[in-house]
Structure 1
Amino acid sequence: MTESHPLFNDIPGEWPWLLGYNEVEMHPEGKLLATVAGTGHPLLAVREYQQGRSLVWTSDMSAHWLPEEFAKWPGYRQLWINCLDWLTERR
């Protein structure tokens, strides 16, 4: 993680490893929040534009690139709650 952000609220400790991700380029006005370890490639980024918000997660949310360890990690559920809350401006 590169900085504090509401997406990381109540997320415990180290993140488990992922098995893969899509290589993407950052939008010049996007905010990079997390990178893929050892690569610097974006893993999680957000952008606010006019009255909207967008978020990109470059890996899977389920079994292809997301190992069972990640899905069972206590921060997994909270991460997606935080993402949806931020996107819908509930927080």
Structure 2
Amino acid sequence: AGALKKFGLEDHSVDLTQKEHVDQYCAVYQATDKYLVGGQQMADCFEKAFGARYEQLLSFGSPRLTTYRHIDRHAHQQKLKKQLGIQNKVAVYLPTYR
């Protein structure tokens, strides 16, 4: 249960013996006002990985995806491309935080 990979201070690439680096990570994490979490398991992960406090965690649950499963994706794509004047294929780049 919880996250699929380690992140924050639990990430294997973080050398916990380097106090200066750990302090830098912690300063960034503590500057964060709120963390949006899907539930208690995710909250537990954020507490361990970022040293997040209970009052920083906002639990919103998981978004409902039913709407997206029942959409005519091809028709929606064509409508959007027409609105934006796109005639060719579209490449989408969505980087993730590592």
TM-score strictly above 0.5: no
User: TM-score if structure 1 supplies the norm length?
Assistant: 0.22
More helix per residue: 2
| Between structures 1 and 2, the one with greater strand share | 1
Larger Rg: 2
